[in-house]
Amino acid sequence: MEWMQRLLKSLILMIAATPTAVTMAQEEPTAKRCYLDGWGDSLACYRVPVGEADNREGLAVMVAPAVNSSGREPLYLLAGGPGQAASDLAPLLNAFRKINREHDIVMVDRRGAGRSGAFNCGFEREMPADLQQFSAELAECYLQHPGFAEQLNSRQAVEDLERVRRFLGHDKIALWGGSWGTRTALLYQQWYPQSLRALVLDGVAPIDTKVFLAASAAEHALQQLADDCAADSGCARFGNWRGELQQLLNDWNDTRARTFPDALTGAPTEEPMLRWALANAIRSALYDPAAAAQLPYAVDQASRGNYLPLSGLTGLFAHSSNGMAMGLTFSVACAEELNRITPEEVARDSAGTFLGSAFFDLFATGCKSWPVQAKPYSAPEPRAQPVLLISGTADPITPPVYAHTALGYLSDKQDLVVRGGGHINSRRGCIPELIAQFLDAPDVPLDQSCVADIQRPPFMVAAYGPAVTVDSQSQPQQAGGQL
């Protein structure tokens, strides 16, 4: 079912095994020209052999060659999820054009993702709305591929990155990681510090942080949205929409679930919009400030019986290319995150929040059907590579406190914090320029003054969007009539 498919893909934020041997390429690698959606220029694409039956075609590696042959280190892009493919990050290249002038930009689809044998478990198009049915189908997938499910982990992903670095003949490299990709980057820094010059981490998921405890972070992001709405003359007219949202969730019942309109047709959905799914859809909207800006209006309309705006908001990412390979997702999440979270921690994190345990429950249910062994990390050791940290104060999954309190072992950090920013801010405002400056001179302090100029998108105040004028009585108006 489409709403379940897009919801599960948007929910996921985001494994450690014995190192495999990494050998130097014996001959000059041969590239083919290829293209990726979201980037108009051609790429140099490779297949890097890994020598295992489940990956006979090897790792898919895509390189945007530097415009100038300056000899600067390449920048590798690490995707999130876990389960997202690096090739889905191609649109980010548009924001990184200045970086690409001097640096090759490399995307490696890790095993089980994207063009490296996506481990989708048959969930590419349709997913059951009922969590127990989803868990049963996940269990069937696991039983068909238990060995492959067990081998997918963070140690393997890092070893493969090092394999690609050597295959391409790179000396030191820089890493950009987003969301779960920051975890992969930090682990690479732990295990291969000699191969690394600098890191850019956007939406930081530190090694020791339990990022699947997300309810408190989502509640903080929602409250900041409510505060900013109250300070906006147009949005403030919605009054206590935050309370209306809580009441809506508290009163959600089978009748509302079955009459909730489809985001594309407006007709009742074929499957009910369950409460856990609605709460998670609201959480997902908080990832993107432009989507979050529509939430007060959508909730206000829902409180009046009009669910169409809220349905449209939940459907914003229906055609997103940033899909997750569910087999890979659960191999990582179950082995490296879920098994170290206690019921007491879930209760403390979810208490008093709009989300409750709805996000955690999805993964806890799935992990019962995905019995991979625990793969714990060692405690991180001190590292001195320059690191640029990027956070949004309204990030519902990796808030700035993660970057500020869990990375004391890093001795050379710079920190960019975007006021009102959601999850992943590398494309916003002057951030791409600051990343380019950092990569060119990682040890030079950045002038961060421009970050304060990055603003939330305007709030949606009526069916046609934000207010465009304000009359003499400070009442917002839109083209085409007064509100």
For residue 359, is it within any domain? Answer: no
- pLDDT recorded at residue 177: 98
> Which two three-digit tokens encode residue 80?
């999130």
Q: How would you class 5 by CB atoms within 10 Å of its CB: exposed for 0-12, middle for 13-18, buried for 19 or more?
A: middle
pLDDT digits (tens, 9 = 90+) for 152-206: 999 999 999 999 999 999 999 999 999 999 999 999 999 999 999 999 999 999 9
Phi and psi, residue 396, nearest 5°: -85, 5
- pLDDT recorded at residue 468: 65
Residue 330's identity, in one-letter code, is F
> Which two three-digit tokens encode residue 382?
């001190």
- pLDDT recorded at residue 22: 38
For residue 4, is it within any domain? Answer: no
Given a cut of 60, whether residue 305 has pLDDT beyond it is: yes
- Mean local confidence (pLDDT), 222-247: 97
pLDDT digits (tens, 9 = 90+) for 352-393: 999 999 999 999 999 999 999 999 999 999 999 999 999 999
- pLDDT recorded at residue 23: 38
Confidence of residue 483 (pLDDT cuts 50, 70, 90): very low
> Which two three-digit tokens encode residue 436?
């380019």
- Mean local confidence (pLDDT), 265-271: 85
For residue 341, is it within any domain? Answer: no
For residue 291, is it within any domain? Answer: no
- pLDDT recorded at residue 263: 86
- pLDDT recorded at residue 19: 34
Question: For residue 392, how many C-alpha atoms fall within 13 Å in the half-sphere facing its CB?
Answer: 34
- pLDDT recorded at residue 124: 72
Sheet holding 387-392, edge to edge: 32-36, 39-48, 59-64, 105-109, 75-78, 173-178, 196-202, 387-392, 413-418
pLDDT digits (tens, 9 = 90+) for 6-61: 455 555 544 332 333 333 444 568 889 999 999 999 999 999 998 665 556 799 99
- pLDDT recorded at residue 239: 96
Name the residue range of residue 117's domain. 16-123+147-211+378-452
Question: For residue 84, how many C-alpha atoms fall within 13 Å in the half-sphere facing its CB?
Answer: 28
Return d(Cα 7, Cα 280) in angstroms, integer: 8
Return d(Cα 214, Cα 198) in angstroms, integer: 28
Evaluate whether 301 touches 279 at the Cβ level (below 8 Å).
Answer: no
- pLDDT recorded at residue 126: 66
- Mean local confidence (pLDDT), 208-235: 97
Given a cut of 50, whether residue 257 has pLDDT beyond it is: yes
CATH number at residue 393: 3.40.50.1820
Q: Which of 54-58, 206-210, 228-232, 405-409 has the lowest mean pLDDT?
A: 54-58
Which residues are within 8 A (CB) of 242 and not within 5 positions of it... i.e. 6 or more apart?
Answer: 222, 223, 226
For residue 171, is it within any domain? Answer: yes
Q: How many domains does the chain have?
A: 1
- pLDDT recorded at residue 50: 87
The answer to whether the bond into 82 is cis (omega within 30° of 0) is yes
Return d(Cα 55, Cα 75) in angstroms, integer: 25
136 against 16, higher pLDDT: 136
For residue 412, is it within any domain? Answer: yes
Evaluate whether 3 touches 314 at the Cβ level (below 8 Å).
Answer: yes
Which residues are within 8 A (CB) of 460 and not within 5 positions of it... i.e. 6 or more apart?
Answer: 293, 294, 296, 297, 298, 466
Residue 258: name the closest of 288, 284, 278 by CA: 278
CB atoms within 10 A of CB 304: 9
- pLDDT recorded at residue 123: 85
Q: Calculate the alpha carbon distances from 416 to 143, 206, 392, 402 in Å.
A: 44, 16, 9, 13
Q: Which of 6-10, 13-17, 121-125, 347-351 has the highest mean pLDDT?
A: 347-351
pLDDT digits (tens, 9 = 90+) for 431-446: 999 999 999 999 999 9
- pLDDT recorded at residue 54: 55
Given a cut of 70, whether residue 346 has pLDDT beyond it is: yes
- Mean local confidence (pLDDT), 292-300: 97
- pLDDT recorded at residue 118: 94
- pLDDT recorded at residue 76: 98
pLDDT digits (tens, 9 = 90+) for 198-211: 999 999 999 999 99
Which residues are within 8 A (CB) of 307 and not within 5 positions of it... i.e. 6 or more apart?
Answer: 256, 259, 260, 261, 301
- pLDDT recorded at residue 57: 75
Given a cut of 70, whether residue 313 has pLDDT beyond it is: yes
Question: For residue 422, how many C-alpha atoms fall within 13 Å in the half-sphere facing its CB?
Answer: 17
Evaluate whether 296 touches 241 at the Cβ level (below 8 Å).
Answer: yes
Evaluate whether 324 touches 90 at the Cβ level (below 8 Å).
Answer: no
Predicted TM-score of the model (pTM): 0.90
- Tokens 């009526």 belong to which residue? 462
Evaluate whether 372 touches 156 at the Cβ level (below 8 Å).
Answer: no
pLDDT digits (tens, 9 = 90+) for 84-110: 999 999 999 999 999 999 999 999 999
For residue 167, is it within any domain? Answer: yes
Q: How many residues does the chain have?
A: 483
- pLDDT recorded at residue 318: 53
- Mean local confidence (pLDDT), 414-419: 98
- pLDDT recorded at residue 17: 29
Report the first-to-last Cα separation within the chain, whole angstroms: 36
For residue 282, is it within any domain? Answer: no
Given a cut of 90, whether residue 316 has pLDDT beyond it is: no
Query: How much is the mean pLDDT over the chain?
Result: 89
- pLDDT recorded at residue 56: 62
